[in-house]
Structure 1
């Protein structure tokens, strides 16, 4: 609305300046270049001065085409401003004027924006001024990738061999690639080192660079480390990125072959498992490695040889040969193997020796060995002598026995051999233990053992004090004989062991005391106590057997058939202390002493109990008796055996004669 009013005024001022011949002064200052990373916003500043003021100033922005022509992208007049349509920057630019500074902002810059930009300042007078700035856009490349050659490289190759390739993508400006070996840069110096590079411009305008390294390989390159370094630019700086490190396989012929014993470590003995290893300082794939035993022509095509259970003949020189199959070049190495041995121990005299008592005993033990040996003698697992010779000045019966000679090799653990010698000492027998031996037992059967030493092996005989010979089992031992006798005992007795051979005899007395016999004799010496036994009787028509207990009796059962009447009593004791008492059926023959003692005590208590009961019965204290009743018993002849019987319910006593006739008590 103000524009129609001010336009004539401006035109008038212009004509006035022209009429007087006065022209305005305009100056523009710009940076030579502006650097920015791709994708960011670039800001290009145009600093200008004019003596006309800002009211009639026109600001225009251009970029230079590849053909050097200008393309306007923005126009700002005093009354109007806008970006030019249909340009590269139509929708990405804006202008900000602050006093005498006009700042052009370009958003999302790319490498295609790497152009020269021009700022033009015009006034109302024909005077104008311009400035130029080069916009530089940077893009960091990707991380470099490196690939090593997959196959090995021979040092015999005449032409340079490919080591690897390095590639970096999408950088701007173009990145540079440099190769390194062991931190030292490699320059392109044909024919030793050849570096070739190629550059690709992507559709985006970014650069991708690939570099390939080829060189003549030497043996010292087998452990070398190769990598590539990429140098690229960023605003105001230069950066570097290093690729991964690679190694190459270098094939080269050996100059030395080594063969050694891998196991066992140290000295080798017969029976060991021998392992030989072979290696060389080369690294050539087309080759054959052979290990051979020169003494036996035994060989294997391998870098390892294993031989189990080696013998002394397996010792000797082993040779390892390396043969390159392309040119049939050979190189060898060797080592000497020693297999140590220890033969079986040999004792002289062999197997056994017999010496007279008091004479000198001598024996020697030797074993052939490749190393120094040590000899020891043992008897009953005890060390008795050291050295090859076993010597006893005056042999005794204790000298006799089995001797073991052990030969070892102190230098090597596990090398050992042994042999045995039976030493016999001729002399009269000796019986182990004292001459008189006391034996106490609760048993009715006794086992006696008699061991005698002597050579020749003695004969052992057993006799009793009454001159009776006992049968016994005799066995020979290492130093004599042993005999075991088993017999029944009924009373105290003496038994003699007699050992004899060609040089004399020896007797040992066994004094056997039976504890059971003594106890029973004491019991039978006590006064006899009679008790009445409750019984059941069946009478036959022919025979009557009368059994009268002499000591305490237990309840018994009489079985009477048509022909015989028999009364069984559970326990009997013999009054005669000289005779051997009959054992109770409830006492086992081989029972232990303490069990017998308990039974005897129980019987003794039962006898006392029976006596008390009988006494009370006579006094009329039990079974309804009001007074004492005596019964007398007539003595019977040998042919007149009488059985006294009592009923459970009455006090009537019935006497039966031999012929079964009933007798009244007053007839007695």
Structure 2
């Protein structure tokens, strides 16, 4: 409504300024560029000054099309303002004017908004001014992904081989990719390193970049670490993102082959399980590894050889051969294996030796071995000598026996061998035990044993003091002979054991004494039968039981009989008092029971002929009443 009223006034003022030739002065200041991340709100400021004041100022915003033409997007006049319709910014822009500053806000900017924006300031006079700002939009790319080749690469390849590829997506401006090997950047080098990149512009206007690395590998690359680095720009800075690290498989021929004994550790002895291992400092897929025993031509196509229960002949040189099957190049290595052994112990003289009593005993023991040995002699599990030689200056009968020679290898546990030697000492017999032995017995026969040592084994004869020869069984023992005779006793007698051989004889005397049997008696009682005296037999004593032990047994039996007699007296006393067998108070001795109710017990005594008959109720009965 106000516009028609003020229009003539404005036109009049314009004519007045024109008539006097006075023009307004307008100035505009803007930043060269405004940087913002995609998705944020960009604010472009237009600073202006005019000597006419702000009342008649018009503010217009444009952006520059690719063909350099202008496209207005906002118009603000003194009495009206609005965003232009049907533009890229119609619904995303707003203008805020504060004093001499006009700020254009663009919401949700994208990479398509990377444009040049123009701010135009007009006054009531024909005078106008403009300023320009370049809007720059940035978008950080995704984290780079890297892929290594799955197959191995041979150092013998003539042309560079593909190492891997690196890819980064949706960045703006376009990100750059640089390859690294062990923290060192890789640049294109003819016939050595080739880096190729391919850029894709997505429908959103963002950039995706893929880079591929090919190079000629060396043996050292088997341990190398490869990765790619992505460099991109953000408002006011440059950033870098590093991909994961990758390794590649490098195939190369070995320059050295090694073979060694994996087990056992240390020295090897016969009977062990031998394990050999072979390896080389190369890495090649098409190859054959062979381990061979040069002495026997025994071989396996493997990096491991196992031989069980090895013998000394299994020692020697073992060779490991690596054969590259593409060009049939061959390389080998070897090691020497020693299998230690210990043969059976050999005693000289063999098996047995006989020496005269008083003479020197001498024997030697040896065992062939690949290592130093130690020899010891044992008798009855006791150490008697050390060294290869067993020597006794003056042999006695006690010297005789079984000797064991043990040969060991101190350097290796478990290596041991042994052999035995029977030593016999020639001399007159010796009988074990005292020369006179006392034998007492209740038995009518006794077994007498006589053991004698000596070599040759003595012959044992048995005789009695009355000149009788006794037949006996004789057996040989380790150091002599033993004889057992069974002798029937009729009276006290002496028996002689006579042991003799080619060098003498020895006699031992057995004094045999008989002991008379004793038959003590006692009285016992039963409830159903007539009790008679039983004769108590004392145990028969063997020839080795002493008199004191027999007396002790007899005393025990007598005490037991005495205790039984006391028990009988107590029972009878209780009966008389009516405490047992149903008696209570006085009884009618004239009262008689029927015969079927009577149970009669007859008690006899050695001191009286009287027989007392007791009924069930305790009445005394005459014998004719039974």
TM-score between both structures, scaled by the size of structure 2: 0.81
The Cα of 1:413 is off from its aligned counterpart by 1.9
Name the CA distance, whole Å, in 2 between partners of 1:391 and 1:163.
82
The Cα of 1:667 is off from its aligned counterpart by 23
The Cα of 1:430 is off from its aligned counterpart by 3.5
Three-state SS of the structure 1 residue aligned to 2:554 is: helix
The Cα of 1:439 is off from its aligned counterpart by 8.5
Residues 30 and 636 of structure 1: is their aligned pair in 2 closer, same or farther, counting only changes over 3 Å? Answer: closer
Contact 1:372–1:410 (CA under 8 A) maintained in structure 2: yes
The Cα of 1:112 is off from its aligned counterpart by 0.7
Instruction: Please name the residue that 1:415 is paired with.
Output: 415
Name the CA distance, whole Å, in 1 between partners of 2:406 and 2:307.
29
Q: Which moved more, 1:243-252 or 1:29-38?
A: 243-252
Deviations 1:547-591 (A, max 9, x none): 9997645459778999999xxxxxxxxxxxxx9899999999999
Contact 2:442–2:515 (CA under 8 A) maintained in structure 1: no
Q: Which moved more, 1:373-382 or 1:433-442?
A: 433-442
Which residues of structure 2 form unaligned runs of 5+? none
Contact 1:443–1:590 (CA under 8 A) maintained in structure 2: no
Q: Which moved more, 1:275-284 or 1:195-204?
A: 275-284
Contact 1:360–1:392 (CA under 8 A) maintained in structure 2: yes
Which residues of structure 1 form unaligned runs of 5+? 514-542, 566-578
Three-state SS of the structure 2 residue aligned to 1:666 is: helix
The Cα of 1:409 is off from its aligned counterpart by 1.7
Contact 1:546–1:642 (CA under 8 A) maintained in structure 2: no
Contact 2:441–2:543 (CA under 8 A) maintained in structure 1: no
Residues 242 and 493 of structure 1: is their aligned pair in 2 closer, same or farther, counting only changes over 3 Å? Answer: farther
The Cα of 1:632 is off from its aligned counterpart by 29
Instruction: Please name the residue that 2:518 is paired with.
Output: 547
The Cα of 1:604 is off from its aligned counterpart by 2.5
The Cα of 1:499 is off from its aligned counterpart by 5.1
Deviations 1:386-439 (A, max 9, x none): 111111111112212211111112222222111111112233344445556788
Residues 590 and 262 of structure 1: is their aligned pair in 2 closer, same or farther, counting only changes over 3 Å? Answer: farther
Matched, 1:644 2:602: yes
Instruction: Please name the residue that 2:279 is paired with.
Output: 279
Three-state SS of the structure 2 residue aligned to 1:221 is: helix
Residues 618 and 358 of structure 1: is their aligned pair in 2 closer, same or farther, counting only changes over 3 Å? Answer: farther
The Cα of 1:479 is off from its aligned counterpart by 2.6
Contact 2:60–2:120 (CA under 8 A) maintained in structure 1: yes
Residues 459 and 262 of structure 1: is their aligned pair in 2 closer, same or farther, counting only changes over 3 Å? Answer: same
Residues 469 and 3 of structure 1: is their aligned pair in 2 closer, same or farther, counting only changes over 3 Å? Answer: farther
Deviations 1:461-491 (A, max 9, x none): 7789999998877654433345678999999
Name the CA distance, whole Å, in 1 between partners of 2:315 and 2:597.
108
Residues 192 and 614 of structure 1: is their aligned pair in 2 closer, same or farther, counting only changes over 3 Å? Answer: closer
Q: Which moved more, 1:242-251 or 1:108-117?
A: 242-251
Name the CA distance, whole Å, in 1 between partners of 2:22 and 2:266.
114
Name the CA distance, whole Å, in 1 between partners of 2:47 and 2:246.
54
Contact 1:619–1:628 (CA under 8 A) maintained in structure 2: no
Deviations 1:98-122 (A, max 9, x none): 1111111111111111111111111
Deviations 1:168-225 (A, max 9, x none): 1111100111111111111111111111111110111111111111112222222211
Contact 2:291–2:301 (CA under 8 A) maintained in structure 1: yes
Name the CA distance, whole Å, in 1 between partners of 2:171 and 2:32.
23
Instruction: Please name the residue that 2:371 is paired with.
Output: 371
Name the CA distance, whole Å, in 1 between partners of 2:409 and 2:211.
69
Residues 444 and 105 of structure 1: is their aligned pair in 2 closer, same or farther, counting only changes over 3 Å? Answer: farther
Count matched residues.
626
Three-state SS of the structure 2 residue aligned to 1:592 is: helix
Instruction: Please name the residue that 2:568 is paired with.
Output: 610
Residues 348 and 127 of structure 1: is their aligned pair in 2 closer, same or farther, counting only changes over 3 Å? Answer: same
Deviations 1:118-153 (A, max 9, x none): 111111111111111111111111111111111111
Three-state SS of the structure 2 residue aligned to 1:291 is: strand
Residues 443 and 598 of structure 1: is their aligned pair in 2 closer, same or farther, counting only changes over 3 Å? Answer: farther
Instruction: Please name the residue that 1:583 is paired with.
Output: 541
Residues 183 and 547 of structure 1: is their aligned pair in 2 closer, same or farther, counting only changes over 3 Å? Answer: closer
Residues 48 and 604 of structure 1: is their aligned pair in 2 closer, same or farther, counting only changes over 3 Å? Answer: same
Three-state SS of the structure 2 residue aligned to 1:596 is: helix
Deviations 1:12-31 (A, max 9, x none): 33333233222111111111
The Cα of 1:9 is off from its aligned counterpart by 3.5
TM-score between both structures, scaled by the size of structure 1: 0.77
Contact 2:114–2:136 (CA under 8 A) maintained in structure 1: yes
Q: Which moved more, 1:270-279 or 1:430-439?
A: 430-439
Residues 60 and 422 of structure 1: is their aligned pair in 2 closer, same or farther, counting only changes over 3 Å? Answer: same
Contact 1:357–1:425 (CA under 8 A) maintained in structure 2: yes
The Cα of 1:11 is off from its aligned counterpart by 3.5
Deviations 1:331-358 (A, max 9, x none): 2222222222111111111111222222
Name the CA distance, whole Å, in 2 between partners of 1:68 and 1:190.
43
Name the CA distance, whole Å, in 1 between partners of 2:511 and 2:499.
17
Deviations 1:612-634 (A, max 9, x none): 99999999999999999999999
Report the aligned-residue RMSD. 8.5
The Cα of 1:70 is off from its aligned counterpart by 1.0
Name the CA distance, whole Å, in 1 between partners of 2:148 and 2:615.
137
The Cα of 1:84 is off from its aligned counterpart by 1.3
Three-state SS of the structure 2 residue aligned to 1:638 is: helix
Deviations 1:352-397 (A, max 9, x none): 1222222211111111112222111111222111111111111112
